[in-house]
Amino acid sequence: MTLATLSDVLQPALKDGYAVAGLVTLGWEDMRAYVAAAEAEDVPVILQAGPSCREHTPLPVLGKMFRHLADRASVQVVAHLDHGYTFDECQEALDCGFTSLMFDGSRKPLAQNIDETARIAELAHGAGISCEGEIGFVGYAGGEHSAGTDPAQARRFASETGVDAMAISVGNVHLQRDKEGGLDIDRIRAIEAVTDVPLVIHGGSGVPVAQREMLARGSNICKFNIGTELRMAFGSALREAVNRDADRFDRVQILKETHDPLVSATRSVLRSFKQT
């Protein structure tokens, strides 16, 4: 059994100079492909259940799916709740076997975010699992605008919440399809100067690959969340499989054809974070 907590995989990454991918899952096909890719690259992987995933599949089912894959994997697998918004949701994920809780209070006033995140961290640590929090707000492409992380607030947040990982807003954006942007390196360095908590980049799909590689090996960013990039790879493979034969209707046979292309795309993502 290789089920791991977030701290289990991020602390070695912080120490040895690499990052771990937090891969956003939507269903069985991508979860299975992500673990296969991690095994092929011999790296740990964080399987993430975000709000859209949880809307489609209940947490008790997701917990069993993640743990089933972890039980049979040759690499460490973290079962991670991504963007939990309430205490009850985090408690349910804990009860369903998740090994990491990400509480998102980033839209709330600083003091409230700290208080509520600290409560989730206490819940997680009491059960022997990990907690990720977010300070600053990471916006959405074509939607809400970001609010950059203030280093002084990051220092207070890390100190007062006791989180095991801290998501920051440094030019990253959720749901970005291209890689034409880039992260604010000066802001990252300023945050690193005031805390040694492993840092997390949400919206990692929009970060240029060369910058991912540099930051994975030369900063305290130990986790990059990747969703859009791999959803696009899955969608392309699925479209090709469907269009190949208009008479086919068995979805199992169609979905099987997404596996190899998604494994290949995921391996490419994972390689950019590996230790040199």
Quote the radius of gyration of the chain (alpha carbons, Å): 18
Q: Give the whole-angstrom CA distance, residue 96 versus residue 75.
A: 21
Identified catalytic residue from 30, 82, 104, 164: 82
Alpha helices (H) along the chain: 6-16, 28-41, 51-56, 59-72, 87-95, 110-126, 151-161, 185-192, 209-218, 228-244, 251-256, 259-271
How far from the centroid of its chain's Cα atoms is residue 88's Cα? 21
- Give the SS3 label for residue 173: coil
Identify whether 115 is a catalytic site residue: no
Q: Residue 49 forms beta bridges with which residues?
A: 25, 81
Residue 47, strand partner residues = 23, 79
Q: What is the 3-state secondary structure (H, E, C) of 20-83?
A: EEEEEECCHHHHHHHHHHHHHHCCCEEEEECHHHHHHCCHHHHHHHHHHHHHHCCCCEEEEEEE
Q: Are 260 and 238 in contact (CB under 8 A)?
A: no
Report yes or no: 10 and 22 within 8 Å, Cβ to Cβ. no
* Residues with catalytic roles: 82
